[in-house]
Structure 1
Amino acid sequence: MIEWSDEDVMIRDAVRGWIDAEVRPNLDALDAGELPPYDLIRSLFKTFGLDELARSSFASRIQKERDGGSPREGGHSGEGGDSGEDRPGGGNAAMNMLPIIELCKVSPGLVTAMGVSLGLAAGTIMKRGTVEQKERWGLDLLTMDKVGAWAITEPGSGSDAFGGMQATARKAGDEYVLNGSKTFITNGPYADTIVFYCKLDNGRAPRDREILTFVLDRGMPGLDQSKPLRKMGLHSSPTGELFLNDVRAGADRLLTGGSGGGKESAKQNFVTERAGVAAMSLGVIEECLKLSVDYAKKRELWGQPIGDFQLIQLKLAKMEVARINVQNLVFRHIEMQRAGRTPTLAEASAMKLYTAQAASEVAMEAVQLFGGNGYMSEYRVEQLARDAKSFQIYAGTDEIQVTHIARDLLSR
């Protein structure tokens, strides 16, 4: 794949039209954190029929499972078990990527909020849940009728998500009693459904304990969801904390499907999340480049457009090189999905490491190109620079990506 198809371009232009009509007029409210993103995401779903597509796909999948077949029968799931079937758009890889790219040109936080609810919360339930659990929680998340959160990060664990995990589940008769706290949880303040990771308190050393995954509902006794945290960027993606004090969860809330337990489930989600950052980065890079080229043509200094100066041309050229490289990685990922192959954790980490750094560097160069105007919020490169920096931190920091890539190389 070397360019978008005619059908892809039609989809892209339709999404752009919706963004111009629905998102851009609300940018100030979104970036101020005054407007939660969920009604806009639901509008996107209804406008393009993604909610009905999700219902149809869900019904077909559940019927197949009830008939005793595999949910992926007749297809390929790849190493990570994620062929895109659990998201609106199904196996249409380009349809999954294009809205991400276009939305990230304007408001990357919308993609983060949507991606966590669909790809991580709903994705985990659809991979590891029973038919009953999928019907209970999965469909409402896939249609965005409800908002999902994926809770693994804790205040003291940082990048040591599994080893440093302190949240626990203690068996009490037919139930589990959950205690602990989570932080930096996307959608945490507004989530209706929470996929919660913790360790089984069974007397073993904390680092040796089994990882369990539960599905929790907003309003459960002992579960508190904080107000949105203040952040450097991604203000259109609400982030919060969760506090659990003797929350009682029945066995019907425990996700036990799939292989490798809760730890393997989380690793599969890391692959999905990290690969998705490439598409997010492409959106930011394309928008920063477009804004910079327009500005370089119009802004004059010493009687001539600043685009005539070689230092400005160098910045634009480097942005274009980054755009081509990141676009090629996105195209590669689309082709992998079409071939039924999911990236390994190391491949996804490599994609995220390069593209996140490229997006942040391009956005900061755009700010520099705009000069004083680039530091002002009325010029959109300021917001994009703040938002792009988060790509190097969430879904694993740059340093964690390096570790995963190097370990894979050294294990060969």
Structure 2
Amino acid sequence: MIEWSDEDLMIRDAVRGWIDAEVRPNLDALESGDLPPYDLLRDLYKTFGMDELARSSFRARGRDEERPPRGANAAMTMIPVIELCRVAPGLVAAMGVGLGLAAGTIMKRGTPEQRERWALPLLTMEKIGAWAITEPDSGSDAFGGMRSTARKVGDEYVINGGKTFITNGPYADTIVFYAKLDDGSDPRDREILTFVLDRGMPGLEQSKPLRKMGLHSSPTGELFLTDVRAGADRLLAAGEGGGKASAKQNFVTERAGVAAMALGVIEECLRLSVEYARTRELWGQRIGDFQLIQLKLATMEVARLNVQNLVFRHIEMQRAGRAPTLAEASAMKLYAAQAASEVAQEAVQLFGGNGYMSEYRVEQLARDARSFQIYAGTDEIQVTHIARDLLSR
């Protein structure tokens, strides 16, 4: 795949038109936190029939199937991500966690009944999902440093602990929650269990949205669990590798998806920068005639081409029925996240003082792009996963 097909471009233009009509006018409200993103995302799903598509796909392939059929239109999943990230990357973070991580985990590890009960409403955006693994003291040591516990009491589990930096945490209806089995063994060696929790369960507290540097259109919060009782029907199957393997599968999905998010930011920063270079004048000529400005624009275009090729490769892999390895997904994320952040910072520099003002959108995009190098694993973690793969060959 070297370019978008005519059908892809038609989808892109339709999605772009919806974004211009529905998202851009609400951008200030999204950025201030006054408008949670979920009604907009539901409208996107209904407008393009994505809710019915998800429902029919769920029924057609059977509740026992974990992934879409080979050859599905992978571009259709990528194009909305790219286009939304041109305007409000936080919307994609909010949508992706509910669909790719929360629903994805249940689809991979859940029974047919669990998928029907919890995954389907997430896949159709009827409900909002959160994926809770990060804790205040664990950071990149997500498994070893995990302190949340689940103690078996009769036919139930009693869960205690807290999570932080949880996308959709304040508003989530369904929460995929990771905890260690409290069996008296060394805490770092304990089995990781995965539960599905619902808003309103006794002992479950969801915080208000946290204030953060960027991605303001994606609510982030904390979860506090005090003696939350979960029956066996809420425990997802461990499968091969247990809860750790389940989480790592999701890391692959999340990290590969960052390339599409980065592409949207890069494309919009480049578009805004070219437009500004054509119209802004200094010393009697447009700044686009200055070689240093041309260098910035050329560097942005090189980054756009490279990240676009990563996205195209990922689409082709999906069409072939192949998922990237953890190392491949980490490499995609590492490069794309750094490229997006660098392009956005160069766009701010190109705009000069105007670029530092929120009135000029490169300011927001620069803040949002910075998050790509932190969530779903920091740059340093990506390097570790790539290098370990190389050294193990």
Instruction: Please report the TM-score for the alignment, with normalisation by the length of structure 1.
Output: 0.94
2:107 to 97, 120, 126: 126
CA contact (8 A) 1:84 1:93 kept: no
Which blocks of at least 5 consecutive residues in structure 1 are unaligned? 66-70, 73-82
Distance, in Å, in 2 between the alignment partners of 1:122 and 1:84 is: 13
CA contact (8 A) 2:265 2:369 kept: yes
2:141 to 160, 165, 170: 160
Tell me what 1:59 maps to. Answer: 59
Aligned to 2:53, the other structure's residue is in SS state: helix
- Is 1:151 matched up with 2:122? no
Tell me what 1:309 maps to. Answer: 290
Q: Mapping of 1:11-410 within 5 angstroms?
A: 11-62=11-62, 65=64, 71=65, 83-84=67-68, 91-256=72-237, 258-410=239-391
Deviation at 1:257, TM superposition (A): 5.6
Distance, in Å, in 1 between the alignment partners of 2:367 and 2:72 is: 32
Q: Deviations over 1:281-337 (max 9, x none)?
A: 000000000000000000000000000000000000000000000000000111111
Distance, in Å, in 2 between the alignment partners of 1:92 and 1:254 is: 32
Tell me what 1:80 maps to. Answer: none
AA aligned opposite 1:218: R
Q: Deviations over 1:323-374 (max 9, x none)?
A: 0000000001111111111000000000000000000000000000000000
Tell me what 1:68 maps to. Answer: none
Aligned to 1:276, the other structure's residue is in SS state: helix
AA aligned opposite 2:25: P
Distance, in Å, in 2 between the alignment partners of 1:267 and 1:16 is: 33
Distance, in Å, in 1 between the alignment partners of 2:261 and 2:86 is: 8
Deviation at 1:138, TM superposition (A): 1.0
Deviation at 1:85, TM superposition (A): 5.8
Distance, in Å, in 2 between the alignment partners of 1:6 and 1:136 is: 38
Aligned to 2:62, the other structure's residue is in SS state: helix
Tell me what 1:10 maps to. Answer: 10
CA contact (8 A) 1:182 1:241 kept: yes
CA contact (8 A) 2:27 2:88 kept: yes
Distance, in Å, in 1 between the alignment partners of 2:245 and 2:212 is: 30
Deviation at 1:55, TM superposition (A): 1.1
Deviation at 1:84, TM superposition (A): 4.8
Aligned to 2:215, the other structure's residue is in SS state: coil
Deviation at 1:57, TM superposition (A): 1.1
Aligned to 2:278, the other structure's residue is in SS state: helix
AA aligned opposite 2:386: I
Deviation at 1:91, TM superposition (A): 2.3
CA contact (8 A) 1:167 1:199 kept: yes
Tell me what 2:392 maps to. Answer: 411
Number of positions where the alignment pairs a residue of Structure 1 with one of Structure 2: 393
CA contact (8 A) 1:130 1:257 kept: no
Q: Deviations over 1:151-179 (max 9, x none)?
A: 00000000000000000000000000000
Distance, in Å, in 1 between the alignment partners of 2:239 and 2:37 is: 32
AA aligned opposite 2:112: V
Q: Deviations over 1:71-97 (max 9, x none)?
A: 26xxxxxxxxxx5569xxx92110010
CA contact (8 A) 1:336 1:342 kept: yes
| Greater shift in the superposed pair: 256-265 or 92-101 | 256-265
Identity value in percent: 84
Distance, in Å, in 2 between the alignment partners of 1:169 and 1:223 is: 14
CA contact (8 A) 1:127 1:258 kept: no
Deviation at 1:61, TM superposition (A): 3.0
CA contact (8 A) 1:129 1:257 kept: no
CA contact (8 A) 2:102 2:175 kept: yes
Distance, in Å, in 1 between the alignment partners of 2:47 and 2:370 is: 31
Q: Deviations over 1:106-152 (max 9, x none)?
A: 00000000000000000101111001111111111011010000000
Distance, in Å, in 2 between the alignment partners of 1:91 and 1:112 is: 23
Distance, in Å, in 2 between the alignment partners of 1:173 and 1:351 is: 45
Q: CA RMSD in A?
A: 1.2
CA contact (8 A) 1:233 1:390 kept: yes
Which blocks of at least 5 consecutive residues in structure 2 are unaligned? none
Aligned to 1:160, the other structure's residue is in SS state: coil
